[in-house]
Amino acid sequence: MRTPLDNLLNNLANLFKVKSIISIMVLTALTIGFLRTIVPVEQYVPLATAIITYFFTRKQKEGE
C-alpha cells in the first residue's frame, strides 16, 4: 500500500512531463506578457483559461 507522501511525490513527478512543461511555459509567457502590458486582457483571459482548462481536464493515456 502506498503512503500519501509516495502518492504526492509520484503525482509531482508526473506533473513534469513534456506536455505539462509546455503548458506551464506558455501560461508563464502569457502571464509575463500580461504583467508587462504586452498582452491585452482581452487576449490573456481566454488563452489562460483555455490552457488551464486543458491542463486540469485532460485524461491520461495508459502509457503515460
pTM flag (> 0.75): no
Alpha-carbon distances of 61 from 10, 23, 33, 46, 64, rounded to whole Å? 16, 17, 32, 26, 5
- Domain of 48, in residue numbers: 16-64
Q: Is residue 62 part of a domain?
A: yes
Q: How far apart, in whole angstroms, are the C-alpha atoms of residue 5 and residue 1?
A: 12
pLDDT digits (tens, 9 = 90+) for 24-35: 889 999 999 999
pLDDT digits (tens, 9 = 90+) for 9-53: 887 777 767 677 888 889 999 999 999 999 999 999 999 999 888
Q: Is residue 9 part of a domain?
A: no
Please give the tally of structural domains in the chain.
1
Q: Is residue 11 part of a domain?
A: no
The answer to whether 27 touches 52, Cβ cutoff 8 Å, is: yes
